[in-house]
């Protein structure tokens, strides 16, 4: 089987390592020609996960049409703001029935579309689209550390195909029919992780982080439920599982961004220092706008946005959250009638 992996960052490199190790012929697309050349010459990515040795079956290219030509499945692993562009780039070379699974976690700014909605608009045929999300740090997956994830597809047979594609003895894959919940969960948890990092940067303790994570999960579930997601999805790998790992791990770039900002840094300086994209920064804007468009408040997300882009301080934002009016813990989740 030939698989195209579109995106050669840390997660794309880990996916190429996993699929190449299963015996698939993998073509890895890198935006930068020098990364593609380095992979082909040394069987390792010269920029990301430099210590990971890729199987000889993994070949790289910086030409996207060449990457997807003849592929029997396509894995999109770019930052969310790049999904539309790569979709347009591969649209002329990709047959309409080839399954495409998106691993990017975000909601597009402006259009407020989920990633499979973006791909449907650009390459068509929603039935062949899917999303994969879970507590899957690339650094650990690329070392064979036991991990699990879930894949949500619009059609059951596509979900089963992708489940088989990714499943290994150390990478367990579950299916889920809730594409909306899986995608929104993956986007939302990054914002909560930025807030958790800010708590770390301010020197707050375990109580504060646990509160942010728990109320963040409620916020995620409320937004998802209003947009048609199954609330139970947020109890699973794409919700609580991913939230836990992203809020607590040393590998989490979103948690690290929050800590960086709480100590006086900015989104721009973090990106310049790490050469990493923290999806939670863009998602704080798009998710806040999405919630506003349906008349909802998502207060933690709104405060993260105000800190990152409007000059508010993390300590002031914390005081705003702690000073909100009293409410039932389960409000807005279809279990009680009270509104916050």
Active-site positions?
Answer: 189
What is the rounded CA–CA span in Å between residue 269 and residue 138? 23
Q: Judge whether 182 and 161 are in contact, CB under 8 Å.
A: no
Contacts 24+ apart (CB under 8 A), 139-146: 139/10, 139/14, 139/49, 139/251, 140/251, 141/14, 141/15, 141/18, 141/171, 142/13, 142/14, 142/17, 142/18, 142/49, 142/52, 144/170, 145/170, 146/170, 146/172
Interstrand relation of 2-6 and 25-29 (parallel, antiparallel or unpaired): parallel
CB 22 within 8 A of CB 57: no
Give the Cα separation of 266 and 260 in Å (integer): 7
């Amino acid at each position: 089987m030939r698989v195209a992996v579109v995106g050669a960052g840390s997660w794309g490199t880990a996916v190429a390592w996993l699929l190449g190790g299963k015996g698939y012929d993998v073509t890895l697309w890198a935006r930068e020609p020098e990364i593609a050349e380095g992979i082909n010459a040394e069987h390792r990515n010269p920029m990301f996960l430099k210590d990971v040795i890729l199987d000889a079956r993994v070949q790289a290219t910086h030409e996207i049409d060449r990457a997807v030509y003849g592929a029997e499945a396509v894995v999109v692993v770019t930052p969310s703001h790049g999904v539309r562009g790569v979709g347009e780039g591969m649209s002329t070379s990709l047959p309409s029935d080839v399954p495409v699974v998106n691993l990017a976690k975000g909601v597009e700014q402006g259009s407020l579309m989920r990633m499979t909605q973006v791909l449907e608009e650009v390459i068509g045929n929603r039935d062949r689209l899917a999303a994969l999300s879970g507590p899957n740090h690339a650094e650990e997956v690329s070392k064979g550390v036991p991990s699990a994830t879930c894949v949500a597809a619009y059609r059951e047979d596509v979900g089963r195909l992708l489940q088989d594609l990714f499943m290994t003895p150390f990478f367990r894959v579950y299916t889920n029919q809730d594409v909306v919940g899986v995608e929104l969960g993956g986007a939302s948890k990054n914002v909560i992780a930025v807030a958790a990092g800010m708590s770390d940067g301010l020197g707050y303790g375990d109580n504060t982080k646990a509160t942010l994570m728990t109320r963040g999960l409620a916020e995620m579930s409320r937004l998802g439920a209003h947009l048609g997601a199954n609330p139970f999805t947020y109890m699973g790998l794409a919700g609580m599982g991913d939230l836990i790992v992203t809020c607590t791990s040393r590998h989490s770039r979103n948690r690290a961004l929050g800590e960086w900002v709480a100590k006086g840094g900015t989104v721009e300086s973090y990106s310049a220092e790490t050469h990493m994209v923290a999806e939670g920064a863009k998602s704080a804007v798009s998710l806040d706008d999405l919630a506003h468009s349906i008349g909802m408040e998502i207060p933690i997300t709104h405060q993260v946005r105000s800190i990152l882009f409007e000059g508010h301080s993390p300590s002031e934002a914390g005081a705003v959250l702690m000073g909100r009016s009293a409410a039932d813990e389960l409000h807005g989740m279809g279990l009680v009638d009270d509104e916050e």
